[in-house]
Structure 1
Amino acid sequence: MTDAWTWVVDHGALWLPYVYFAVDIVLRLVSLIIVPRNRRPGSAIAWLLAIMVLPLIGFPLYLLLGKARLPRARREKQQVVNRLMRVRAQNIPDSELDEDVPSWMQSAVRLNRELGAFPLTGNNSADLEIDYETSIAAMAADVRSAREHVHVLFYIMGLDETTEDFFAALAERADAGVTVRVLYDHWGALSHGPQYRAMRRMLDAHGIEHFPMNPIQPIRDGAFQRPDLRNHRKMVIVDGEIGWMGSQNLIASHYDKPANIRRGLHWQETMARFRGPIVSELNLLFATDWYYESEQMLPEETVVRRSPDTSGTYECQLVPSGPGFVSENNLALFNQLFYSATRRIVAVSPYFVPDESMLAALVTAARRGVEVELFVSEIGDQFLVFHAQRSYYSVLLEAGVKIWLYRAPTILHAKHVTIDDSVAVIGSSNMDIRSFLLQMECSLMIGGTDAMEKMRSVEGTYRSRSRELTLEEWTQRPRTMQVLDNLCRLASAVV
């Protein structure tokens, strides 16, 4: 044995190249079999290219990040919840749509119900808030009105000067005997270390039950788990009567990052405050996430209640999405609405990296005469995504899409869509591949004339703070920027 080992060591320069060559060939061949399986062609090609160029690096990365699957225990819970939700949905009829809504709206309602099992609810009201600190103050005021329970879920949460009053409100109600439950994404909150630790200390000090969502535990259930599957939802529900949801995280508008502060960056958001039956549906979605992380199944009768306020006139339907669902719910909804539009589409998205189907839907809409507007930021906070989304501007501009660049140094982080004068969708979902495949998102479809007027007012404000990007300007950008954008587009497909 010693002689054999001595020979191996002494002749390493002779046999190592052959081993490397054999492993290289095996990894390339295996990747051709497993990578394209049940994967978008663009994503498969990007992964294969990465593996073919550097097999010993690309293949392990594929094993690490190549499958958008939740941990096994979470998948089993998701299946249980999905079955319960579908049984519940069978016994709850959809609210009747107004007679003047277009025929395709009923089709959208059926699609959403099939995807997420949430019914269309009527008699809701909603208000929009686009001022960052005002929305946090309003949520804190609603928390202070709580009598029974407060449910809070945010992708990013941290205790700082901007959010301290909100956390003080949670503490006050918890000390008064109100049940307060808090969920936050593990990586989203952990990435803001000092604020994250301060938040946990305060929650613990007041006996508030809280859990990190999708905790980063690479080895779970006896197998490696993808670490970048995140819960990206943002919700606050008070007594099942008041519900907030939208794009805003619970942290200062510069995210407490020194680099952002030096650049003068601030985030612009849109949040919606709801009253009416839709709040119970939001509460039910929170209860499912609470079950996944805490193992506690909240009784449906305590979560879903008859709303005391049914004076509103909006029809609302919740559409959850994420890797726990078979279909890409948010992508399916967006595409269905884009193809249904006859007059106007306005899309606001901070990270716009569409797949082929969404890009085709928007380009087709523009070419058939629909007025299409896309709002994005003039500058970006994420290098790869920012340059990847810029690679789509040429084809959009050539098709007649108007692109509005929200002026620096503000990052437009709002996420909403309006179609004709019929329906709006607001929530946490970006129009990028991460939101379609890897992140748990919450979108809400709203119908109602008054709701559309409020959305148009927000769009008008954003338009006044933006400048239009023209095709002439875009074609004159430096050649190096074109190359960089296209390279980032290719890299962004590796999901």
Structure 2
Amino acid sequence: MDAATAGALVAFALVVIDFVVRVLAVILIPKNRRPQTALAWLLAIFFIPYFGIAAFLLLGTYRLPKRRREKQLEINRYILDTTEGFDRVAAEAPWPEWLGPIVELNRTLGAMPMVGGNSSTLYQDDAVSLAAMIDEIERATTTVHVEFYILALDDTTRPFFDALAAAIRRGVTVRVLLDHLGTWQYKGFRPAKRALRRMGAHWHLMLPFQPLLGRIQRPDLRNHRKLLIVDGVVAFTGSQNIIDPGYEKRGNARRGLQWKDFMVRFEGPVVAGIDALFVTDWYAETNELLAREAAPARPTGAGGLDCQVVPSGPGFAGENNLRLFNSLVYAAQRKIILVSPYFVPDDSMLYAITTAAQSGIEVQLFVSEIGDQFFVYHAQRSYYETLLRAGVRIFLFESPTILHAKHFTIDDDVSVIGSSNMDMRSFSLDFEISVMVWGGTFLTRLRAIEDSYRQHSRELTLEEWLARPPLSQIADNVARLTAAVQ
């Protein structure tokens, strides 16, 4: 066979392989995926085939490794079993008529029961909330459970680590979980590990991606939760990571970027639910199932809030947070206020929000005027025209602040706070915590915070949006194609 014939055969074989790969992609990729996610992968494979195929093999499934999935099933059963005895709110609680089915939906999906008698403190200033967390650690007598997507040691967070070390010296058991790749990208990662080792804390990486140690899984499945539980009687959760508000990056410093977060301190029965979530994540990473530790005799404030902890992530069969969000949006009668730093909804959420606005319900969305992630920022902007045309009011929080708070309110009844963004990553790829709260006092305080956002925001109009530069429009449209795989 001469060289020309061999070359022709090789070229023919490559054409056949390329054709077969494309046909198989069309058949296999849409299975059990949203159409928009499948389309994004197909476009990647058709336009950049070798890179697209490699990326799909690495990132194309949000399923955890088999052993991890088995452990997650055990964890889900543990959540249901260990929370069965919690005191529930009375069946005759004066909830809106529509709230009961949503509470039951959450429970069916693997959430904790709704529990009453809780109290809370809300924080919208990062320095104040960090100081409050440090104060609670300094008061700890038995246990401190720390779980954060990002846990970095820098000048701002050093007092937090010092408080943990002092607690250990007092005989307090300190357990720490930090997301591996979430923290790895920051210079405070290694100092944090060294500090945890020196102080004698029990600590582990969450979802470690360490191929040389045989720990290989999809690298962008992350644990995005933010939890601090002290003595089993006080819990903090929300959007704040343990890192300097500028996130230790030179580019952020050049732009003057500062993150603005939202945290809540809870007391009452809901703390046991939040701690149960830490216990399940601890078991997933260590194979150690912690016994429920007796809480110390420590005065706590009784309150009138009903709260339900709703965990979500790739370990659950359904997208718990998305189902919760959509159910609440459809239940709204008067007003919906949404706050999310990364707003990239799937079709179901986009329809729910625009349907609410077109039905005469007041819908407000707070997002940042500027972004810290190019593709997410432009993908988010690609939805603004649809939202504005439907009647949604969009408020852009003033730069150079990144409004990183994650919460929303429905009518004068229900609030949801936690770590979850309103984007497809948080719905499918990240482990998150959401807390649904019924109680007028909580919502009133949260509405006051939303009002403060409005004072530092400007409202975007459809006319302004349609007049944006053509290059901006192109970037938005192209980024939208990547939204489902970000």
**Which band: TM-score by shorter chain?**
over 0.9
Q: 1:221 to 1:113 in 2, by over 3 A?
A: farther
Contact preservation (8 Å) 2:341, 2:405:
yes
Q: Is the CA contact 1:277–1:310 (under 8 Å) kept in the aligned structure 2? A: no
Aligned to 1:290: 282
Query: Once the two structures are superposed, what CA deviation does each residue of 1:2-32 show, in whole Å capped at 9, x if it has no partner?
Result: xxxxx79897634331232122112112112
Which of 162, 169, 180 is the aligned partner of 2:174?
180
Partner of 2:372: 381
Distance 2:5 2:223 in 1: 52
Q: What is the aligned counterpart of 1:491 among 470, 482, 486? A: 482
Match among 107, 112, 136 for residue 113 of structure 1 = 107
Superposition CA RMSD, Å = 1.9
> Judging changes above 3 Å, is the alpha-carbon distance between structure 1 residues 97 and 268 closer, same or farther for their aligned structure 2 residues?
farther
For structure 1, which runs of at least 5 residues remain unmatched after alignment? Answer: 1-6
Partner amino acid for 2:290?
L
1:49 corresponds, among 35, 40, 43, to: 43
Instruction: State the distance in 2 between where 1:291 and 1:100 align.
Output: 37
Q: 2:307 aligns with which of 316, 320, 330?
A: 316
Q: Which residue of 1 aligns with 2:383?
A: 392
- How far off its partner does 1:327 sit? 0.2
Q: Is the 8 A contact 2:233 2:295 kept in 1?
A: no
Question: Alpha carbons of 1:441 and 1:81: their partners in 2 closer, same or farther (altered >3 Å)?
Answer: same
Pair 416,16 (structure 1): closer, same or farther in 2 beyond 3 Å: same
3-state DSSP of counterpart to 1:298: coil
**Distance in structure 2 (CA, Å) of the matches to 1:303 and 1:456:** 36
Distance 1:29 1:195 in 2: 46
Show the counterpart of 2:354: 363
Task: Give the alignment of 1:16-55 within 5 angstroms.
Answer: 16-55=10-49
Is it true that 1:169 corresponds to 2:201 in the alignment?
Answer: no
- TM-score, normalised to structure 2, is 0.96
Q: Is the 2:111–2:311 Cα contact (8 Å) retained in structure 1?
A: no
- CA-to-aligned-CA distance 1:409-435 (integer Å, 9 cap, x gap): 000000001000001000000000000
After superposition, the C-alpha distances for 1:351-400 in whole angstroms (9 at most, x for unaligned) are 00000000000000001111000000000000000000101000111111
Partner in structure 2 of residue 246 of structure 1: 238
Contact 2:268 2:301 in 1 (8 A): yes
Other-structure match for 1:3: none
Q: 2:406 touches 2:419 (CA, 8 Å); kept in 1? A: yes
Cα distance per residue 1:469-489 (max 9 Å; x no partner): 011111111222112101100
1:208 aligns with 2:198: no
1:137 is aligned to 2:128: no
Residue identity opposite 2:457 in structure 1: S
Q: Which moved more, 1:30-39 or 1:95-104?
A: 95-104
Aligned with 2:485: secondary structure?
A: coil
Does the CA contact (< 8 Å) of 1:280 and 1:303 recur in 2?
A: no
Partner of 1:235: 227
Aligned-partner residue type, residue 397 of structure 1: L
CA–CA separation in structure 2 for the residues paired with 1:305 and 1:427 = 26
Percent sequence identity is 50
Label 1:317 to 1:28 Cα distance change in 2 as closer, same or farther (>3 A).
Answer: same
* Distance in 2 (alpha carbons) for counterparts of 1:491 and 1:314: 40
Instruction: Decide which of 346, 351, 360 is 2:337's aligned counterpart.
Output: 346
Cα distance change on mapping 1:283 and 1:307 into 2, 3 Å: farther
Q: Give the deviation of 1:44 after TM superposition.
A: 0.8
Q: CA deviation at 1:256?
A: 0.8
Cα distance in 2 between the residues matched to 1:488 and 1:249: 27
The secondary structure found in structure 2 opposite 1:493 is helix
Please tell me the residue identity of whatever aligns with 1:354. P
Between the two proteins, the alignment pairs up a number of residues equal to 486
Is it true that 1:411 corresponds to 2:402 in the alignment?
yes
User: 1:280–1:305: 8 Å Cα contact kept in structure 2?
Assistant: no
Once the two structures are overlaid, the 10-residue window that deviates more, 427-436 or 478-487, is: 478-487
Contact 1:149 1:180 in 2 (8 A): yes
Q: Residue 81 in 1 paired to residue 75 in 2?
A: yes
Cα distance in 2 for residues equivalent to 1:91 and 1:236 = 23
Letter in 2 for 1:447: W
* Aligned position for 2:426: 435
Distance in 1 (CA, whole Å) between partners of 2:3 and 2:184 is 45
Instruction: Letter of the 2:390 partner, please give it.
Output: A
1:272 aligns with 2:264: yes
The answer to whether the 8 A contact 1:218-1:227 is kept is no
1:475 corresponds to 2:461 = no
Q: Any conservation in 2 of the 1:287–1:303 contact (CA below 8 Å)? A: no
Per mean C-alpha deviation after superposition, the further-off stretch among 8-17 and 277-286 is 8-17
Equivalent residues of 1:416, 1:424 under 8 A apart:
yes
- The residue type paired with residue 454 of structure 1 is R
| 51-60 vs 290-299, which moves further | 51-60
Q: Residues of 2 paired with 1:67 and 1:123: CA distance?
A: 41
Whether the 8 Å contact between 1:180 and 1:208 is mirrored in structure 2 is yes
Structure 1 residue 311 displacement after superposition: 1.3
Alpha carbons of 1:480 and 1:333: their partners in 2 closer, same or farther (altered >3 Å)?
A: same
> How many angstroms does 1:279 deviate by?
0.6
Partners of 2:306 and 2:347 in 1: CA distance: 31
CA–CA distance in structure 1, aligned partners of residues 224 and 284 of structure 2: 15
Q: Aligned residue for 2:252? A: 260
Cα deviation per residue 1:281-316 (whole Å; 9 max; x = unaligned)? 11110000011111111013x178999536111000
Cα deviation 1:223-281 (Å, max 9, x = unaligned): x6211100000010000111000000000000011110111000010000001111111
Aligned-partner residue type, residue 53 of structure 2: F
Unmatched 5+ stretches in structure 2: none
Cα shift at 1:93: 5.8
| Aligned twin of 2:445 | 454
- 1:212 maps to a residue whose letter is L
Provide the rounded CA distance (Å) in 1 between the counterparts of 2:51 and 2:295. 49
User: C-alpha distance in 2, partners of 1:331/1:304?
Assistant: 33
Cα-to-partner distance string for 1:306-358 (whole Å, 9 max, x where unaligned) = 99536111000000000000000000000000000000000000000000000
Change in 2 beyond 3 A, CA 1:175/1:99: closer
Go from structure 1 to structure 2 and tell me whether the alpha carbon gap of 1:430 and 1:77 turns closer, same or farther (over 3 Å shift).
same
Q: Relative to 1, partners in 2 of residues 1:484 and 1:290: Cα closer, same or farther, differing over 3 Å?
A: same
Query: Cα distance, 1:152 vs. partner?
Result: 0.3
> Offset at 1:81?
1.4
Partner in structure 2 of residue 146 of structure 1: 140
The SS at the match of 1:147 is coil
